[in-house]
Amino acid sequence: MLVLISCLPLTVAAAAAANSIIPLRILPLGASVTFGVGSSTGNSYRKDLRDSLAQAGHQVNFVGRRKNGDFADNNVEATSGFVISQIAESALVATPMFLPNIALIEAGTNNCNSGRLVPDAGANVTKMIDTIFHASPGVTVILALILKNKIAEQDACRVDINRQYTDVLAPRYQQAGAKFVLVDMRSEDGPTTADLFDTRHPNDVGYRKMAVVWNKGILAALEKRFIIAPADNGIPPDSESGAGASPQVSGGSGPMTGQVGAGRPFAAIQAAGSGRRFMQHFRIYTMLGLLWLCMFW
């Protein structure tokens, strides 16, 4: 039986910082951009994003059935040329297989290659997102507005797809309180046409800018306390996935993991001392308009 020892008031910023210790199992979904076409290393945005998250103290593991890039944790679920329906088929297989707690979606670019508008793009991506939510309970979905294109007709199509995402798709999930974040690859942080390798794929500079935008989306999800610890999928992470990323308990031997949520376990800290092991349990509650960190034994 757990016995309450004490509670301390916790700022929102501290709660967000505590949330950062949750392991991030990320499923990158997309086509050639997500795979890394135009990148000198094949890394796409993935390595830069991973490095930023790891430097901030996150334990990161990219998942997917394919590999591309010059880093160990280079799993990805993306195939060049895929349109929305094909990316959705990939998501249907990969999501229940890997059980990510974050899915990053960049979809719709290849639907615009003909230069014609795609009026059902938003509806089809909505179906894909619903599938992901169903297949991996607790997952947070982060959808990107698609990149700029140097060909005017194709870019007009992309602008229209982005309008469907912002005006119809995003409000649907936001009003439902879903774990959904929309990020803007056309913002001042995202790639410009000067950052393209060709007419549509980013170069290394463009991919670094994409990583910045994705990172902001993940931080926003953490601040909203959307992200919870991933479920056990029976698949060991890549050897690099925890390197330098899992914060250690001072004087202890194991990583700190957990989740933040009202009344939910926030961290289980396992440490070694004097030949014995012990567990401390913490939970966060909302009381009197404040967040409280409570310790149990």
Q: Any residues with CB less than 8 A from the CB of 192 and at least 6 apart, and which? A: 148, 206
Instruction: Find residue 26's DSSP bridge partners.
Output: 62, 102
Q: Judge if 134 and 197 occupy the same domain.
A: yes
2 C-beta neighbours (distance < 10 Å), count: 10
- Separation in Å, CA 28 to CA 100, 220, 243: 10, 17, 20
pLDDT digits (tens, 9 = 90+) for 67-79: 999 999 999 999 9
Q: Judge if 147 and 81 occupy the same domain.
A: yes
Query: In the chain, how many domains are there?
Result: 2
- If pLDDT is split at 50, 70 and 90, which confidence band does 283 have? low
Instruction: Quote the pLDDT of residue 273.
Output: 30
Instruction: Quote the pLDDT of residue 291.
Output: 57
pLDDT, greater one: 140 or 280: 140
Q: Judge if 149 and 280 occupy the same domain.
A: no
Q: Sign of the C-alpha dihedral, residues 211, 73, 223, 125?
A: positive
d(CA 132, CA 110): 21
Q: Judge if 218 and 274 occupy the same domain.
A: no
Residue 233 lies in a domain: no
Q: Judge if 123 and 213 occupy the same domain.
A: yes
- If pLDDT is split at 50, 70 and 90, which confidence band does 260 have? very low
- Which domain does 56 fall in, by range? 23-223
Q: Rounded mean pLDDT of 194-210?
A: 98
d(CA 297, CA 278): 9
Residue 230 lies in a domain: no
Q: Residue 242 above 80 pLDDT? A: no
Q: Judge if 260 and 218 occupy the same domain.
A: no
| CATH number of the domain residue 177 falls in | 3.40.50.1110
Q: Any residues with CB less than 8 A from the CB of 98 and at least 6 apart, and which? A: 25, 27, 63, 64, 136, 233, 235
Using a 10 angstrom Cβ sphere, with 0-12 exposed, 13-18 middle and 19 or more buried, the burial of residue 1 is exposed
CB 103 within 8 A of CB 95: yes
Q: Judge if 48 and 174 occupy the same domain.
A: yes
Q: Residue 247 above 50 pLDDT? A: no
